Amino acid sequence: MNLKPENLTKTKSPLFITIYHKLYKLIMDGTFPPDSRLPTEPELAKILGVSRMTLRHALSLLQEDGLVKNIHGKGNFITKFHHNQKAFGLEKMGNPLYKCYLEKVDDVEIEVRIELVSDYAKQVLNRSMTAIVSVDRWYMNGDEVVAYAFSMMAIEAISELDLDLQDKQQILEMLEQKIYDLANSSTIEIKRSNFIKIPSHKKSKISSGKECNLILESVYISDKYPVVHNKFYIPTELSQITINASK
């Protein structure tokens, strides 16, 4: 078979591919900087001289690349992280919320309570325990709850980690950072879910049934059982999950 270039039939790329490449270049050279809002779709379509349908096809490819995110009712935004190709993903231990949530977290509010051992706790913690410690974490951006985490530990882990149940700040620091410094491994499972079962919060604006990425995480200090099991609920439209695989 003769595959010399002069014998190949040249095909023209679809217009939306051409627009995709134009926008990709504008984003990567900083014309549209990270965290900036793109012009509205009618404005951008007029600037590029194409129909809105063609533009939307191009934007969908940029969203798949992780360069653009669409926030319902607000528009299309350039992601903050596209310029940092070496950023760690979920393959490195650390609070997965900060690796996946694309916006800013200003504060974390926390509630701690002691509960009876449930069948679910027995399943995920896989150890003997007399009670469990449940922790709610609401992640705040300004005065709005933007994500939520639920954590469970055996009450025996509180003394093992030298924690004071009355000291919420100490428990928060342990769950947000120190537990990952102490751990030797973790397992992560990613699902799609919604916010129906999130505990109420006076500032919460997360609507019931809103689609989210659910990250289930078990953190191990020993190989016998996880010291803590976490469930992170992050709105799909404001999250990007990255895993940097290598041989």
Q: Quick check: 34 pLDDT over 50? A: yes
Same-domain status, 25 and 118: no
Residue 246 lies in a domain: no
74 with 114, same domain: the answer is no
For position 115, which CATH number holds? 3.40.1410.10
CATH number at residue 70: 1.10.10.10
How high is the pLDDT of residue 219? 98
Q: How confident is the model over 117-149, as pLDDT tens digits? A: 999 999 999 999 999 999 999 998 888 888 999
The C-alpha atoms of residue 47 and residue 53 are separated, in whole angstroms, by: 14
29-43, 64-78, 185-199, 228-242: the lowest-pLDDT one: 185-199
Supply angle C-alpha 140, 133, 130, rounded to 5: 175
Last residue of a domain, one of 50, 78, 106: 78
- In the three-class reduction of DSSP (H, G, I as helix; E, B as strand; rest coil), residue 53 is classed as helix
pLDDT of residue 8: 39
pLDDT tens for residues 54-77? 999 899 888 877 789 888 889 999
Q: Is residue 218 part of a domain?
A: yes
Closest CA to 217 of 179, 245, 182, 244: 179
Query: Can you tell me the mean pLDDT for 81-92?
Result: 65
pLDDT band at 7 (very low <50, low <70, confident <90, very high): very low
Q: pLDDT class for 198, splitting at 50, 70, 90?
A: low
Burial of 135 (0-12, 13-18, 19+ CB in 10 A): buried
67 secondary structure, DSSP code:
S
Cα atoms in the Cβ-side hemisphere of radius 13 Å centred on 51: 5
Report residue 233 as tokens: 């609920």
Q: What local confidence, expressed as pLDDT, does residue 17 receive?
A: 83
In whole angstroms, how far apart are CA 195 and each of 26, 204, 234?
Answer: 36, 11, 9
Q: Say if 136 falls within a structural domain.
A: yes
Most confidently modeled range among 21-30, 58-67, 135-144, 223-232: 223-232
Distance CA 227, CA 175 (A): 11
Domain boundary residue, one of 78, 106, 127: 78
Query: Three-state SS for 198?
Result: coil
Least confident piece of the model among 47-61, 72-86, 176-190: 72-86
Are 158 and 227 within 8 A, CB to CB? no
Count of structural domains, the chain: 2
Pairing type for strands 68-71 and 132-141 reads unpaired
Is the pLDDT score of 246 beyond 90? no
Question: Using CA atoms, how far apart are residues 85 and 89, in angstroms rounded to an integer?
Answer: 10
- Residues 72 and 187 placed together within one structural domain of the fold: no
100 and 190 share a domain? yes
Give me the mean pLDDT over the 19-45 stretch. Answer: 90
Q: Which domain holds residue 42?
A: 14-78
Q: Is there a domain that residue 90 lies in? A: no
Both 138 and 218 in one domain: the answer is yes
84 HSE (CA, 13 A, CB side): 9
Q: HSE, CB side, 13 Å, CA atoms: give it for residue 208.
A: 5
- Judge whether residue 208 has pLDDT over 60: no
Share of the chain above pLDDT 90, in %: 51
Nearest 5 degrees, angle CA 69-CA 90-CA 118?
105
Q: In whole angstroms, give the CA distance from residue 12 to residue 110.
A: 56
Q: Which helix (H) or strand (E) covers residue 219, if one does?
A: strand 211-220
Place of tokens 């609920």: 233
Tell me the pTM: 0.68
Mean pLDDT across the stretch 8-37?
79
User: Can you tell me the mean pLDDT for 18-25?
Assistant: 88
